Structure 1
Amino acid sequence: MTEVESATPRVGARAWSFLVAGDERQFQGNAGYEDIIEESYSYDSTVGNHQHVAVGDLVVVRNGREALGAAYVEALQVLPDQTKVRSRCRFCRSTGFKGRRTMLPRFWCSACKNAFDDPVEETVPVTAFRAHYGGTWQPLDGCLDKAQLKVLSLSRSDQQSIKKLDRVRTLEAIGARGVRLPHPHEVRCAGSHRPQTLPGGSRRATAAVRRGQDAFRRALVGQYGLVCAVTGAAPAEVLEAAHLRPFAETQHHRVEEGLMLRSDVHRLFDSGLLAIDADLVVHVAPSLAGHGLYCELAGVPLQIAHDAPIDRAVVADHHAATVATW
Structure 2
Amino acid sequence: MGGAYTTVRASYGRAWSFLIAGKEREFQGNAGYEDVVEESYSYDSTVGNYRRVAVGDLVVVRDSREALGVGFIETLDIVPHQQKLRNRCPECESTGFKERTTELPRYRCSPCGTAFDSPKVETIPVTTYRAHYGRTWQPLEGCLNKRQLADLSLSRSDQQSIKAMDRERVLHAVASRGVRLPRQGCVVPATQRRPLELPGGRRRTTAAARRGQDNFRKALVAQYGLICAVTGPAPAEVLEAAHLRPFATTERHRAEEGLLLRADVHRLFDSGLLTISPELVVHVAPTLRGYGAYSVLDGRSLYVPRDHALDLNVVEEHYATTTAAW
Q: TM exceeds 0.5? A: yes
Deviation at 1:6, TM superposition (A): 1.0
Quick one: structure 1 residues 221 and 193, their matched pair in 2 at CA, closer, same or farther if it must change by over 3 Å? closer
Q: Is the 8 A contact 1:256 1:309 kept in 2?
A: yes
Shift of 1:183: 1.9
After superposition, where does 1:245-284 map in structure 2 within 5 Å?
Answer: 245-284=245-284
Once the 2 structures are TM-superposed, how far is the Cα of residue 271 of structure 1 from its aligned partner? 1.1
Q: Tell me how far apart the structure 2 counterparts of residues 324 and 75 of structure 1 sit (CA, whole Å).
A: 57
Q: In the alignment, which residue of structure 1 is the partner of 2:292?
A: 292
| 2:85–2:124 Cα contact (<8 Å) kept | yes
**1:83 corresponds to:** 83
Q: What secondary structure does 1:202 align onto?
A: coil
Change (3 A) 1:7 1:168: same
Distance in 2, matches of 1:20 and 1:322, equals 45
Aligned length: 323
Q: CA deviation at 1:27?
A: 3.2
Q: Is the 8 A contact 2:4 2:196 kept in 1?
A: no
The residue aligned with 1:8 is 9
- 1:1-326 equivalence runs, <5 A: 2-10=3-11, 13-185=13-185, 191-199=192-200, 201-202=203-204, 209=210, 211-326=211-326
Structure 1 stretches of 4+ with a deviation exceeding 6 A read 203-206
TM-score normalised per structure 2: 0.95
Distance change >3 Å, CA 186–CA 243, structure 1 → 2: farther
- Spell out, residue by residue over 1:133-182, the C-alpha distance to the aligned partner (whole angstroms, 9 max, x if none): 11110000000000000011111110100000011111111111111111
Contact 1:19 1:25 in 2 (8 A): yes
Contact 1:34 1:201 in 2 (8 A): no
Once the two structures are superposed, residues 70-114 of structure 1 have per-residue CA deviations (whole angstroms, 9 ceiling, x without a partner) of 000111111001111111112111112011111111111111111
Give the structure-1-normalised TM-score.
Answer: 0.95
**Contact 1:37/1:201 (<8 A) preserved:** no
| Structure-2 separation of matches of 1:167 and 1:286 | 46
Aligned to 2:24, the other structure's residue is in SS state coil
Query: For 1:220-276, what per-residue CA distance to the aligned partner results, in whole angstroms no more than 9, with x for missing partners?
Result: 111000000000000111111111111122122111001111111111111111111
Following the alignment from structure 2 to structure 1, what is the Cα–Cα distance between the partners of residues 229 and 269?
12
Letter in 1 for 2:118: D
The 2-side partners of 1:187 and 1:233 are apart by 26
With over 3 angstroms needed to count, the CA separation of the structure-2 counterparts of 1:125 and 1:184, relative to structure 1, is: same
Residue type at the aligned position of 1:149: L
User: Could you say what secondary structure the match of 1:305 adopts?
Assistant: coil
Q: Provide the alpha-carbon RMSD of the alignment.
A: 1.8
Offset of 1:325 from its aligned partner?
Answer: 1.6
Q: In terms of mean alpha carbon deviation, does 275-284 or 192-201 score higher?
A: 192-201
Which runs of 5 or more residues in structure 2 are unaligned?
none
Q: Indicate the percent of aligned positions where both proteins have the same amino acid.
A: 61
For structure 1, list consecutive stretches of 5 or more residues without a partner in the other structure: none
Q: Distance in 1 between matches of 2:216 and 2:308?
A: 16
After TM superposition, give the deviation of residue 25 of structure 1 in Å: 2.1
* Residues 261 and 229 of structure 1: CA distance in aligned 2, closer, same or farther (over 3 Å): same
* Aligned partner of residue 217 in structure 2, secondary structure: helix
